Amino acid sequence: MTVFQHPENLELVVHFNIPKVQTWGDGKKDIPYKELVRQSSNLPLNARNDFAWFVFSIRCVVSENRRRKKGPDVENIPKLIVDAFTGILFLDDNLDYVRGIQVEALFGPDEQENAEVWIYGHR
Tell me the pLDDT of the chain averaged across its residues: 89
How many C-beta neighbours within 10 Å does residue 116 have? 15
Given a cut of 80, is residue 24 above it in pLDDT? Answer: no
pLDDT of residue 12: 92
Give the percent of the chain with pLDDT over 70: 94
Given a cut of 60, is residue 1 above it in pLDDT? Answer: no
pLDDT of residue 25: 72
Give the predicted TM-score (pTM) of the model.
0.91
d(CA 47, CA 26): 26
pLDDT of residue 6: 75
pLDDT in tens, 77-123: 999 999 999 999 999 999 999 999 999 999 999 999 999 999 999 99
Task: Look at residues 21, 13, 53 and name the one whose alpha carbon lies nearest to residue 37.
Answer: 21
Assess contact for 89 and 47: CB atoms under 8 A: yes
Assess contact for 24 and 33: CB atoms under 8 A: no
| Structure-derived torsion over alpha carbons of residues 7, 113, 86, 11, reported in degrees to the nearest 10 | -20
Out of 2.30.130.10, 2.130.10.10, 3.30.1330.70, 1.10.3720.10, the CATH code matching 11-122 is 3.30.1330.70
